[in-house]
Structure 1
Amino acid sequence: MKIFWGLSAVALLLASPAMADEPVKSKFDLSIGGYVKLDYAYNSVKLNSPKLIPQMPAGGTASAQKDESTFTARESRLWFRAKGPDAFGAKTGSLVEVDFYGGGSSVNNETGTLRIRHAYGTLDWDTTHILFGQTWDIFGPAAANTVDFSVNGFTGTPNCPRVAQLRVTQDLAKNQDNKLSLMLGLQNPQQEYSTLTPNSYGPAVNAAGRLIYESKALGVAPGIGGKALQPLQVTLFGEAGTQKVTGNKAINVYGYGIYGFVPLLKSANGKNRAMTLSLETQAYIAAGLGDQQATGASTTGTLPNMSAARGFGVYGQLIFYPLQDMGVTAGYGRRQSMDYDSLGKTASAAGERYNQLIYANLAYDLNAAVRVATEYEFASTRYNVKPTGANSELGKANIYRLALYYYF
């Protein structure tokens, strides 16, 4: 009996920090947030993934003749934001955000491991802003408001992956309602992850930038997720770099495009979402940005005459909130090759002509924490030739999703 009570006392002592009603503390102003998300998806073809993959299996292949249902909670995420002391007259801060899409099997949820999404520090003066660390690629600002975790990234919104970078944003003109800013940065070139021969790409960095105009002239309307309301924005963006390829001359990679966000029906008071409507759109041309998913391939041709594969992307979506707690989104995205005649023409390496996605979803907030969402997606891929085992050059899939969120 004495041993029992002794062990109980030890257990209570060990548990007391978790039981105590104490706030999280740091030497700086620290906040914590994130969400728990359960995803269910029915795929009319076998994707072997709870989210969309870069290309749909061509008709007639084994994967195209199977369907599947998946559950996962691996998109659940956690973030920590800190506000530190001023430095050289600048406000300082940092953010670290992780999810569970690290290593492990794509279908075994217990093997999901932590993955860095964002990890950066900031210094903010009145008109100058510095960011260093890892966050969204400067190329391609748009992120589709999909329930699908891929956020249309393979068909017109190549905002992934998040990359290590150093960037400076300078406000060129600013008043109460309008702002013009220039962002310039150096960032990690995703070409280092190319599947060509080992060490085929050199360690050169890519330069990227954005020219951003924002205005409150049209009011504000919900953006991605519906949590934040955004003003009118027009952005010109671009990226450029030179990569070395073994046995080939250096290959120039680049991309440029335009992005727009327009509040078509503005919030009545700048806070409520009821009867708001927003349009988000983007178009770009790119060469050699296959690892960012801006193009369907990184290179075209054969050694020693390889060059950057070129392509373009277009995207647009509408977000409508008929009620404060109900949002409806419909959108379209397409990634098209400009060099498909020179891409792979063998069945084992069929080149991509285009990849596109049509989607529509509905989300309802039960309260400030709990959200229920459902979505339909039609994804299709047109290949250059029939891939191995296929009876068609076209691959397509119908996807139905249901998701439950708990924000904290």
Structure 2
Amino acid sequence: MKRHLLLLAYLLTTACGFAQLKDFSYKFYGQIRTDLYYNSRANEETVDGLFYMYPKDKVYDADGKDLNATANGSFYTLYTRLGLDVAGPKLGNAKTSAKVEVDFRGSGTSYSTVRLRHAYLNLDWGKSALLMGQTWHPLFGEVSPQILNLSVGAPFQPFSRAPQIRYRYTNKAFQLTGAAIWQSQYTSVGPDNVKSANYIKNSCVPEFYVGADYKANGWIAGAGIELLSIKPRTQSKVGDKVYKVDERITTLSYEAHVKYSNENWFVAAKSVLGSNLTQTSMLGGFGIKSVNERTGEQKYAPIRVSSTWVNAVYGKKWKPGVFLGYIKNLGNDDLISDKLYGTGTNIDRVVTAGAELTYNVKHWKFGVEYTYTAAGYGSLDKSEGKIVDTHTIGNNRVVGVAMFMF
């Protein structure tokens, strides 16, 4: 940890030194963030509970007791972050800029290690701009909830930072966005429910996004279409024989969003009709719709999921807020097997309601948030491709946050 901090300090110092060159300017920023949380039961989550999704289903022990009905909680500073914004000299007619931002979340089960959040360069010609590097996935976009939970509304809200090449054209109040996107830290779920960037790497086709926005008088309203094409497997095994296979699943997803904000109000909503968006921390995935009996080569069908959230926050210093979210598994009647690959594939619906209160002054934020989330678990009905015979599992979550921003 000390070695990583020294290296980071050296890089920032070096960058600041370069920033003294002609036509360079820079801005160093960051935050110290502490998170204290409590859950009434075990949950699907990452970062040891900081990135919270939804409650786990019941799992019984030999006496019939629910092993997941156990409260848990902890305290972390992993989302403390440091960043550097750089404005460089013109390249032709384009203004140049760059950003590097890191936190200490780590990856997998390794915490308190430096992790790259954003790293990109940007060329701005005025009406048009070209970004290359890692930043927020376009489905996350400019409309996201203002809540304390670090999941920022996931799995109701798409959540991912991804390597991408993004082009934007702006004309007065209208903005068009097109992006080619790859996967790095946030990856698709595939066979054996394993997350991997190999599915899109073997595809040789990036993810594509096209969207349009209208921005005026505090309003943002827009919509977008996303295309994902991955190769789940390159080989199969039938008996003791191995075959090379050419498998691919290509899906389209759609989103619409709206936000209004002024000095007192923040009101926003987003709705997503998703197909296999597991790389954006959402529910869903895909299943099998046909199998070649000789080679084992499979064709796939996506699990379609509808997700909607609404968020409202009011105030300046004292800011109360509410968040509501709803997810519905729409299934797919092309499925021939109950073997599914994805996240929450045995869930019919998820409902959440949260309320928070934050105290905000210059450089400081203190807040507390309560959230209740209920997930409806069941089994797959292959005739309709939907989850049936459901039962509801609920979790109560309380989060306390203190932040110093500089």
TM-score interval, smaller chain: 0.7 to 0.9
Q: After superposition, give the CA deviation of every residue in 1:261-300 in whole Å (9 maximum; x if it has no partner).
A: 024xx43xxxxxxxx2231011121212122134322445
- 3-state SS in 1 of match to 2:49: coil
Distance 1:327 1:282, change over 3 A: same
1:190-205 pair list within 5 angstroms: 193-196=188-191, 202-205=203-206
Is the contact between residue 340 and residue 384 of structure 1 (CA under 8 Å) also seen in structure 2?
no
Paired position in structure 1 for 2:74: 70
Q: After superposition, give the CA deviation of every residue in 1:240-279 in whole Å (9 maximum; x if it has no partner).
A: 132233356421122112100024xx43xxxxxxxx2231
Q: Distance in 1 between matches of 2:212 and 2:322?
A: 27
Match of residue 271, structure 2, among 283, 306, 316? 283
The one-letter amino acid of 2:73's match is S
Paired position in structure 2 for 1:44: 40
Is the contact between residue 219 and residue 260 of structure 2 (CA under 8 Å) also seen in structure 1?
yes
Match of residue 318, structure 1, among 312, 318, 329? 312
The one-letter amino acid of 2:42's match is K
Q: After superposition, give the CA deviation of every residue in 1:56-85 in whole Å (9 maximum; x if it has no partner).
A: 112455453210121000011111100000
1:134-153 pair list within 5 angstroms: 134-141=134-141, 142-153=143-154
1:150-169 pair list within 5 angstroms: 150-155=151-156, 157-158=157-158, 160-169=159-168
Q: Distance in 2 between matches of 1:405 and 1:213?
A: 33
Q: After superposition, give the CA deviation of every residue in 1:151-178 in whole Å (9 maximum; x if it has no partner).
A: 11112x11x210100011011x31xxxx
Paired position in structure 2 for 1:373: 367
- Rg larger for: 1
Paired position in structure 2 for 1:120: 120
Paired position in structure 2 for 1:400: 398
Runs (5+) with no aligned partner, structure 1:
1-16, 217-230, 268-275
- 3-state SS in 1 of match to 2:68: helix
Q: Distance in 2 between matches of 1:144 and 1:83?
A: 29
Match of residue 319, structure 2, among 309, 327, 337? 327
- 3-state SS in 2 of match to 1:145: coil
1:109-258 pair list within 5 angstroms: 111-141=111-141, 142-155=143-156, 157-158=157-158, 160-171=159-170, 173-174=171-172, 179-189=173-183, 193-196=188-191, 202-216=203-217, 231-246=218-233, 247=245, 249-258=247-256
- 3-state SS in 2 of match to 1:241: strand
Paired position in structure 2 for 1:224: none
Q: Residue 53 of structure 1: CA displacement?
A: 3.5
Q: Residue 189 of structure 1: CA displacement?
A: 4.9
Distance 1:29 1:398, change over 3 A: same
- 3-state SS in 2 of match to 1:405: strand
Is the contact between residue 54 and residue 154 of structure 1 (CA under 8 Å) also seen in structure 2?
yes
**Residues 1:33 and 2:37 are matched in the alignment:** no
- Answer 1 or 2: which has greater strand percent: 2
Q: Between Structure 1 and Structure 2, how many residues are aligned?
A: 344
Is the contact between residue 345 and residue 384 of structure 1 (CA under 8 Å) also seen in structure 2?
no
TM-score by length of 1: 0.77
Q: Distance in 1 between matches of 2:90 and 2:332?
A: 53
Q: Distance in 1 between matches of 2:377 and 2:338?
A: 9
Paired position in structure 2 for 1:13: none
Is the contact between residue 315 and residue 332 of structure 1 (CA under 8 Å) also seen in structure 2?
yes
Q: Distance in 2 between matches of 1:245 and 1:60?
A: 29
Is the contact between residue 168 and residue 177 of structure 2 (CA under 8 Å) also seen in structure 1?
yes
Q: Distance in 1 between matches of 2:155 and 2:289?
A: 22
TM-score by length of 2: 0.77
Q: Distance in 1 between matches of 2:30 and 2:369?
A: 22
Distance 1:302 1:53, change over 3 A: farther
The one-letter amino acid of 2:275's match is A
Distance 1:200 1:95, change over 3 A: closer
Identity of aligned residues (%): 19
Q: Distance in 2 between matches of 1:258 and 1:351?
A: 26
The one-letter amino acid of 1:237's match is G
Q: Residue 35 of structure 1: CA displacement?
A: 0.6
Distance 1:359 1:97, change over 3 A: same
RMSD: 2.9
Distance 1:288 1:60, change over 3 A: closer
Distance 1:392 1:261, change over 3 A: closer
The one-letter amino acid of 1:95's match is K
The answer to which of 84-93 and 198-207 deviates more is: 198-207
Q: Distance in 2 between matches of 1:330 and 1:94?
A: 35
The answer to which of 39-48 and 72-81 deviates more is: 39-48
Distance 1:237 1:104, change over 3 A: closer
Q: Distance in 2 between matches of 1:314 and 1:252?
A: 23
Q: Distance in 2 between matches of 1:371 and 1:307?
A: 45
Is the contact between residue 354 and residue 369 of structure 2 (CA under 8 Å) also seen in structure 1?
yes
Q: Residue 353 of structure 1: CA displacement?
A: 1.1
Q: Distance in 1 between matches of 2:124 and 2:199?
A: 38
**Residues 1:85 and 2:98 are matched in the alignment:** no
Runs (5+) with no aligned partner, structure 2:
1-8, 61-65, 234-244, 292-297, 381-388
Q: Distance in 1 between matches of 2:122 and 2:216?
A: 24
Q: Residue 234 of structure 1: CA displacement?
A: 0.5
- 3-state SS in 2 of match to 1:148: coil
